[in-house]
């Protein structure tokens, strides 16, 4: 199959509850991008329902792809490749996105690229508009599904320095928010409430603090908050008290992440920068703490704009471009992987 090196790449993301499509020029310019969040479809259930997610991807994807191709003024056969997230994630959504990408690639005679979602989060920092960050760098992936600290040493070369032993950090925010009666997804609502609270009001456990390595643990924190609430006087929780608990929880997470980051920096002393990714990276208190820790070690902290930190297709297309530059493409029988650790790449 002849490769068109100056042609754009289409990216498709459908691994969780965002359907997204984007077209990028090979130099990383974003020619078109669209993201459709399914938050409203899942809100009533307090979390992502896999079957609802898969059906919603199926309903939305074709029109979204046609929209970005139209905006980028390119047809399927004018693409250099079609990249789709093939894992890790919910199998129904992965099958929708990769099935679509493979069918279009076969029909248009262009290469298909099966992209690892975590690799896409990891490589977005190299997009020229974010800063063309040089290898090696540290990545803190802080989302609803993943909490990981990675050494990004090259395309396809990732070293896991630490990960959550239980809940992901976004999950801890969502569960705590739920206990406080806030709507799903709870992270942004909890951050807003915490602004009115005193972060020293409630003592909370700081699991693994100062322990070697950079694994995280958040489930004890959630349990501590649940027990605290059981001990509260009967009746509705006063807003001021809820704000104090939210602020104390957030400060505790910031302490844990700050401590883990300082350990990670010691494990990768030649890191060119520290990159944040995932929904929790948009939390201002956490961002500020991590910037302070990185700054103390003389490192720059880069948090891509929230739309590129959270799930999106720009990162999938960009990972596709990085893979293509290495002469890498996937076969049409490449499988989806609900679990797909980066070290397995």
**Which residues are at the interface with ligand KG4 (CB under 6 A)?**
16, 143-145, 170, 173-174, 185-188, 191, 278-280, 282-283, 310-311
Binding mask 143-162 for Zn ion (x = CB under 5 A): x-------------------
How many residues are present in the chain? 345
With CB under 5 A as the rule, give the number of residues binding Zn ion: 2
Of the pair 173, 340, the CB lying nearest ligand KG4 is at: 173
Binding mask 315-334 for Zn ion (x = CB under 5 A): --------------------
Q: How far is the CB of 117 from Zn ion (least distance, A)?
A: 6
**Of ligand KG4, Zn ion, none, which one sits near residue 283, judging by CB under 5 to 8 A according to partner kind?**
ligand KG4
**Of Zn ion, ligand KG4, none, which one sits near residue 187, judging by CB under 5 to 8 A according to partner kind?**
ligand KG4
Is 199 a residue that touches Zn ion (CB under 5 A)? no
| Contact assessment for residue 187 and residue 174, using Cβ atoms and an 8 Å cutoff | yes
Give the C-alpha separation, 225 to 246, whole Å. 10
Q: Which residues pair with 275 in a beta bridge?
A: 139, 302
* Helical residues (DSSP H) of the chain, grouped into ranges: 39-43, 50-72, 91-108, 117-123, 169-179, 186-194, 219-230, 239-267, 284-296, 306-309, 314-325
Give the C-alpha separation, 176 to 248, whole Å. 11
Is 311 a residue that touches Zn ion (CB under 5 A)? yes
Q: How far is the CB of 311 from Zn ion (least distance, A)?
A: 4
| Contact assessment for residue 94 and residue 336, using Cβ atoms and an 8 Å cutoff | yes
Q: How far is the CB of 60 from ligand KG4 (least distance, A)?
A: 17
Residue 132 three-state SS: coil
Of the pair 138, 142, the CB lying nearest ligand KG4 is at: 142
Give the C-alpha separation, 228 to 245, whole Å. 9
Residue 129 three-state SS: coil
Of the pair 121, 241, the CB lying nearest Zn ion is at: 121
Of the pair 93, 185, the CB lying nearest ligand KG4 is at: 185
Residue 245 three-state SS: helix
Residue 275 backbone phi and psi in degrees, to 5: -110, 135
Of the pair 199, 311, the CB lying nearest Zn ion is at: 311
Of the pair 143, 329, the CB lying nearest Zn ion is at: 143
Binding site for Zn ion (CB under 5 A): 143, 311
């Amino acid at each position: 199959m002849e490769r068109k090196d100056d042609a754009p790449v289409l990216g498709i993301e459908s691994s969780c509850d965002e359907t997204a499509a984007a077209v990028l020029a090979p130099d990383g310019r974003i020619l078109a991008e669209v993201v459709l969040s399914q938050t409203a479809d899942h809100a009533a259930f307090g979390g992502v329902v896999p079957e609802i997610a898969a059906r919603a991807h199926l309903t939305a994807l074709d029109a979204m792809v046609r929209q970005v191709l139209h905006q980028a003024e390119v047809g399927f056969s004018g693409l250099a490749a079609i990249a789709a997230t093939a894992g890790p994630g919910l199998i129904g959504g992965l099958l929708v996105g990769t099935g679509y990408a493979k069918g279009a690639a076969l029909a248009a005679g262009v290469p298909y690229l099966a992209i690892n979602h975590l690799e896409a989060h990891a490589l977005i920092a190299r997009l020229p508009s974010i800063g063309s960050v040089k290898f090696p760098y540290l990545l803190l992936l802080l989302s609803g599904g993943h909490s990981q600290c990675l050494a990004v040493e090259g395309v396809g070369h990732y070293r896991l320095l630490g990960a959550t032993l239980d809940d992901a950090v976004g999950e801890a925010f969502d569960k705590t928010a739920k206990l406080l009666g806030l709507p799903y997804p709870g992270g942004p609502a909890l951050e807003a409430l915490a602004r009115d609270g005193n972060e020293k009001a409630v003592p909370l456990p700081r699991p693994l603090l100062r322990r070697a390595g950079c694994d995280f643990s958040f489930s004890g924190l959630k349990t501590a908050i649940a027990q605290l609430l059981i001990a509260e006087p009967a009746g509705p929780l006063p807003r001021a008290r809820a704000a104090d608990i939210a602020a104390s929880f957030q400060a505790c997470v910031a302490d844990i992440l700050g401590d883990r980051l300082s350990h990670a920096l010691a494990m990768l002393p030649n890191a060119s920068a520290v990159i944040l990714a995932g929904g929790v990276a948009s939390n201002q208190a956490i961002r500020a703490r991590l910037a302070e820790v990185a700054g103390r070690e003389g490192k720059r902290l880069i948090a891509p704009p929230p739309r590129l930190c959270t799930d999106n297709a720009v990162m999938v297309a960009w990972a596709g471009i990085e893979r293509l530059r290495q002469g890498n493409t996937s076969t049409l029988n490449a499988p989806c992987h609900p679990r797909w650790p980066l070290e397995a790449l």
